[in-house]
Amino acid sequence: MFPLPSSEVRSLTDAFPQLWCTTDLQGRTLWGNRAWHAHTSLVMGTDLADLVLPDDQNRVKALFASAQESFCLDLPLRDAAGQAHWFRLSGQRQAAAQDRPATWVVTGVNIHDLKEDQHQRTVLQDLVDASPNCIKVLSLDARLLSMNEGGKRPWKLTISTCAGNCCGPRSGQERPAHK
């Protein structure tokens, strides 16, 4: 049987806003802090893989059963209402001792807003890149920070030349004619 963490450890982890739980080597929850219960509302003994989306379940089950000492991965976890929220899960395998079996300590940091921002940036960049017009982003001192694909084609620019802060054709070079 898995001994519960001491009252000091429970008090400390309950103060954390991050998810914190302990699982057995199959990924069944043995204990969770207050944030864990508030997000998941799972009863102890529930398989952690039940919280992830179906496409990720086999990968999570294999991860817990593996001989890895630790892991870190970004996954959407379902909350008590079934809504998926992105978390960065970190796990550390705890070796067996005389009075307890080997376990995993798993923490989860909410990265949902970060993932939403990344998705929005990707969508916006795809929209800008789809434009045949030249769209540039310049710094206040007129250095080129970014240019969409429509702007790179006539100049025959690559990402590396854009990163080199080019500002247009150098003296003596003509701009190619638009077709």
Average pLDDT for 35-48: 82
Domains of the chain: 7-116 (3.30.450.20), 131-163 (no CATH)
Q: Is 25 left (phi over 0), alpha (psi -120 to 50) or beta?
A: alpha
Residue whose pair of structure tokens reads 């000492």 in the numeric block? 69
Residue 76: enclosing H or E segment and its boundaries? strand 70-78
Q: Does residue 1 register a pLDDT over 50?
A: no
What would the mean pLDDT of 116-135 be, rounded to a whole number? 86
pLDDT at 19: 92
pLDDT of residue 158: 61
pLDDT-derived band of residue 9, with 50, 70 and 90 as boundaries? confident
Average pLDDT rounded to a whole number, residues 59-78: 91
pLDDT of residue 69: 94
Across residues 109-132, what is the average pLDDT? Answer: 89
First-to-last C-alpha distance (Å) of the chain: 75
Q: Tell me the pLDDT band of 71, cut-offs 50, 70 and 90.
A: very high
Binned at pLDDT 50, 70 and 90, residue 159 comes out as low
- 118 confidence band (pLDDT: 50, 70, 90): very high
pLDDT the model gives residue 114: 92
* pLDDT confidence band for 58 (50 / 70 / 90): very high
* pLDDT reported for residue 141: 92
The 10 Å Cβ neighbour count of residue 15 is: 10
Closest by CA to 36, choosing from 89, 75, 72, is 89
